[in-house]
Amino acid sequence: MRILSQYLPILDWGSRYGRTALSNDMIAAMIVTIMLVPQSLAYALLAGLPPEAGIYASIAPIVLYAIFGTSRTLAVGPVAVVSLLTASAIGQVAETGNAGYAIAALTLAFLSGGFLVLLGVFRLGFLANFLSHPVIAGFITASGILIATSQLKHILGVDAHGHTLPQMLGSIFEYLGQINWITVVIGVAATGFLFWVRKNLKPLLNRLGLSPLMADVLTKAGPVAAVVSTTLAVWAFDLGDRGVKIVGDVPQSLPPLTMPSLSPDFIGSLLVPAILISIIGFVESISVAQTLAAKKRQQIDPNQELIGLGAANLGAAFTGGFPVTGGFSRSVVNFDSGAETPAAGIYTAIGLAIAALFLTPLVYFLPKATLAATIIVAVLSLVDLSILKKTWAYNRDDFVAVLATIVLTLALGVEVGVASGVTISILLHLYKTSRPHVAEVGLVPGSEHFRNIHRHSVETDPTLLSLRVDESLYFINARFLLDLIQSRVSEGTEIRNVVLMFSAVNEVDYSALESLEAINLRLKDMDVGFHLSEVKGPVMDRLRTSHFVSNLNGRVFLSQYDAAKALTTKSTESGS
């Protein structure tokens, strides 16, 4: 039962579900549903899919996450960045509007879901750590710019395309002659209105004396107001006949039962994007989940989260959806509206199912420009170039990783961008550890503490060279240490003993062991003793399994202080 409720968290919270939680969850679900209807249609548009796919992608996935997920308030569904990644991945295997396109979206969700479940079952969530914070920040910012640019065509009413910034801008420029000015008026008005709602409506309503909850609901309903008013305008003035692109027929139906394609061709070209979508979606989702959980001291289990998100994506694959993940804005709204348990998600799903059954005819005249406006306003809040300034001030390596991620994502597309960011972070880290900081140390007077002779005023002895190696020793820097010690000892002719202070050495791999053996031999040839101090337990255990310690031309000291005491006394004795 314990195990079962670890894999099925619903058994845990479901058994203690009460009346207060019910009413709180219902209120939150209503607010989230109002927000999700236009958002779902919009993200389907962004992914290049028919609008109903966005609603379908919000129903089964939410329910499945409620069963398997560990966050109380995470709201799962289509999100901007993942929809962009979906469009970019499918664009390589099918044309928008083709039957193949929708099947590719299902397959992508299926592969992504399967991959997430596998990661969860094998407890490989740590893979997400390969995305450093700066790379994520840079990627999200660049994606925000790409998404906003991709929506410009809907605001202008032209047929542009492309998956990189130069492609999109070039394509828009090429089709500039097609501009539909009525569409532009609708798009610009909707965008301006939504920006105004986001910035000014809530303070205004508060000043007018509305309750905070009411003010909040009305603010969240901003997109709905834009949808309703522009739809009415198109209907009343027959703007559809004057070139304004509208959503058109949307089937009135519950999510259909669908099948992803398992053709090797599809899988071959979609597997890598699916892995990318999974990891980026997981990172976004787990960050949101952990931030919200910390506020209420709740626990998130990252590996179970993988299973929850994986189940949600598998659900999307079989019910006409596309890849989903835990979204930031919808989860925050859910949390702020007072959701207490994942049941709120189930109620949201019911609300969306009702919308799919009964409200879809109402969006026939909805202009695509309005949906584009909601996307633009939502994603521009993702764009945050301050990460460039912050990393520049703190650490040039991180800055390089961010800059490369942003520039390459914009110039070459999302997949190349994020892959380059990850590769660059890893290479920079390896490069840094390949040339470790090695400090010569001396005794801080009146203590037993040893510090860098160039930074502190310390006591030293000319016959003793004490080096603190500020890095784990492994293949990347194994040769470096060998060269360094050989050149240091050749310089100082008085040196009779070398102590390597291992306080910062957390690992000695086999390559480094061979280097240490070589150092030992070379120092022996020069008649110089070779000692270690402050070797950590796990490192010492490892070294003892080799012949290094027994062949050592010197000793292993518990502390650098012991080493200095023993070796300087001895040298004074033998020198006298």
Binding site for a copy of itself (CB under 8 A): 126, 129-135, 294, 390-391, 393-395, 397-398, 425-426, 429-437, 439, 444, 447-449, 451-452, 455, 470-472, 474-480, 503-507, 509-511, 513-514, 522, 536-538, 542, 545-546, 558-559, 561
Nearest distance from residue 179's CB to a copy of itself, in Å? 41
Of 199 and 437, nearer to a copy of itself (C-beta) is 437
**3-state secondary structure at position 26:** helix
All residues at 6 or more sequence positions from 336 whose CB lies less than 8 Å from its CB, including other chains? 216
Shortest distance in whole angstroms from residue 383 CB to a copy of itself: 19
Q: Which residues of 262-271 are buried (b: 16+ CB within 10 A; e: fewer)?
A: eeeebeebbe
Residue 496 Cα distances to 349, 487, 518, 530, 564, angstroms = 76, 15, 18, 9, 12
Q: Which of residues 5 and 452 has its CB atom nearest to a copy of itself in the complex?
A: 452
Identify the helix (H) or strand (E) that includes residue 557: strand 556-557
User: Which is closer to a copy of itself, CB of 254 or CB of 453?
Assistant: 453
Q: CA-CA distance, 565 to 552, in Å (whole number)?
A: 19
The least CB distance from residue 514 to a copy of itself, in Å, is: 5
Of 460 and 511, nearer to a copy of itself (C-beta) is 511
By beta-carbon proximity to a copy of itself, the closer residue of 144 and 436 is 436
Nearer to a copy of itself, 64 or 401 (CB): 401
Residue 329 token pair: 């804005």
DSSP type of residue 197 = I
Give the distance between the most distant pair of CA atoms in the chain: 108
Find the shortest distance in angstroms from Cβ 169 to a copy of itself.
29
Q: What is the helix, strand, coil percentage profile of the chain, to 5?
A: 65, 5, 25
Q: Which long-range contacts (CB under 8 A, 24 or more apart) does 201-206 make?
A: none
Closer CB to a copy of itself, 446 or 575, in the complex: 446
Cβ–Cβ < 8 Å for 370, 134: no
Least distance between a copy of itself and beta carbon 312 (Å): 22
**28 within 8 A of 22, measured Cβ to Cβ:** no
Phi, psi of 51 (to 5 degrees): -55, -35
Residue 1 in 3-state DSSP?
coil
Residue whose pair of structure tokens reads 């992914």 in the numeric block: 47
Strand 438-443 to 450-452 pairing: antiparallel
Residue 77, phi then psi, degrees to nearest 5: 165, -170
Q: How far apart are the first and last CA of the chain?
A: 76
- Write down how long the chain is: 576
Beta carbon of residue 480, minimum distance to a copy of itself (angstroms, whole number): 8
CA atoms of 173 and 158, how far apart (whole Å)? 10
Sequence letter at residue 27 = I
Kindly tell me which of 459 and 507 has the beta carbon lying closer to a copy of itself.
507
Residue 471 CB, shortest distance to a copy of itself, in Å, is 5
- Alpha carbons 529 and 84: distance in angstroms, whole number: 62
Name the minimum Å distance from CB 456 to a copy of itself. 9
Q: Please state the closest distance from residue 7 (CB atom) to a copy of itself, in A.
A: 21
Q: Closer to a copy of itself at the Cβ: 7 or 431? A: 431
Min CB(112)–a copy of itself separation in Å: 22
Least separation, in Å, of the C-beta of 111 and a copy of itself? 22
For tokens 């957390």, the residue is: 506
